[in-house]
Amino acid sequence: MASIVSPPQKTVDIQQNKMISIKELAESGGLTSVPSEYTFASNPNDQADQNDPDHSMPTIDFSLIMSTSPDQRSKILHDLRKACEEWGFFMVINHGVPESLMKNMIEVCQGFFNLPEEEKKVYQTRNLLDPIKCGTSFNVEIDKVLLWRDFLKVISHPQFHSLPKPEGYSEVSLEFSKRIREVATELLRAISETLELEADYIEKSMNWDQGLQILAANYYPACPDPENAIGIPPHTDHGLLTILIQNDMGGLQVQHKGKWVNWNAIPNSLVVNLGDHMQILTNDKYKSVWHRAVVNNKAPRISIAVPHGPSLETVVVPAPELVEKQGQPPAYKGISYHDFLDLQQSAKCYMKSCLDAIRL
């Protein structure tokens, strides 16, 4: 059942109220350089490669995953296994999510970011799993450098939550979250098969019917000096997999074979990346890959990342069937998804992989 969350009556605390959104700052006029608190020192050796033939990005045709032809399914499962092993990122085409729905989702998220600052501030919160939260940067309590992005995070499963504003957000986000979760479900079944497990293995072991889905919209305004700011620094995602859509400004970069690569997505494709819990579950067979968001000086970028995870209570461990098959000991100790999310937000894992904290 849908839950539309009205603005809470309590005001947010004073420190949180002092945080100006990057959208408000960027549109304040007269900004010709990046303020010192947003200055991100990048390594010149970490520049993204351009047009390297060694970095041909994998594309998965979703219609073949749904095919009843054994030959077609065998071929696409081979391609999917290769994408998971070699990249941890891939594009999905022919996925069945209407282009109009994807565009409408980006537009209603733009509508939220365009709301007056006072209306958005009522959703500012430090509580990790509040059903709706918005803010700026990553975690202003521990950020050493502020990020050139504002965000809106809305939990859409196991219970769907929504916003009363902007108009249309509730209807569009409900349909979008359902369609994206359908794609995620079929991808997880196919990934299970690439691991030579039963198709529903991941669904059952991760309590998928109660699994967490978050609609995470990011707004990156045009930046006067993009070389000295960062949208989101290098990180990996929690959960099993993330599905992302974006406007046409680009900005996603992925680490592949030790180099940063500009991810040039096919128009209207879905960008999919494996999360930390897929790496735990597969005992390092499939990796959660480092990626980042860079900014530009031309126009705002909007992305909507939809991470999908187990239920919050699920304790994720390497799959015993895979551990036995690999002949290797488990690489990770068990941890509930909820505790992992807490760990990710802590100073201990700031700009580090949380997987290192639970590696055996």
Buried b (16+ CB within 10 A) or exposed e, 266-298: eeebbbbbbbbbbbbbbbbbbbbbbbbbbbbee
Find the helix or strand (DSSP H, E) in which 241 lies: strand 241-246
Cβ neighbors of 146 (< 8 A, separation 6 or more) are: 22, 37, 38, 136, 137, 140
Amino acid at 36: S
Amino acid at 285: K
Whole-angstrom distance, CA of residue 237 vs CA of residue 274: 8
| Nearest to 257, CA basis, from 53, 76, 91, 44 | 53
pLDDT at 145: 84
Whole-angstrom distance, CA of residue 308 vs CA of residue 320: 22
| Nearest to 222, CA basis, from 10, 28, 48, 56 | 28
| Nearest to 134, CA basis, from 271, 292, 21, 6 | 21
User: With 0-12 CB in 10 A as exposed, 13-18 as middle and 19+ as buried, what is 93?
Assistant: middle
pLDDT at 139: 65
pLDDT at 3: 62
pLDDT at 51: 55
Tell me the pLDDT of the chain (360 aa) as tens digits: 556 554 443 322 324 444 689 999 999 888 899 999 999 887 766 777 655 555 589 999 999 999 999 999 999 999 999 999 999 999 999 999 999 999 999 999 999 999 999 999 899 987 889 999 999 877 666 677 899 999 999 999 999 999 999 999 999 999 999 999 999 999 999 999 999 999 999 999 999 999 999 999 999 999 999 999 999 999 999 999 999 999 999 899 999 999 999 999 999 999 999 999 999 999 999 999 999 999 999 999 999 999 999 999 999 999 999 999 999 999 999 999 999 999 988 877 777 789 999 999
Task: Quickly count helices (H) and strands (E) in the chain.
Answer: 12, 16
Longest dimension (CA), the chain: 62
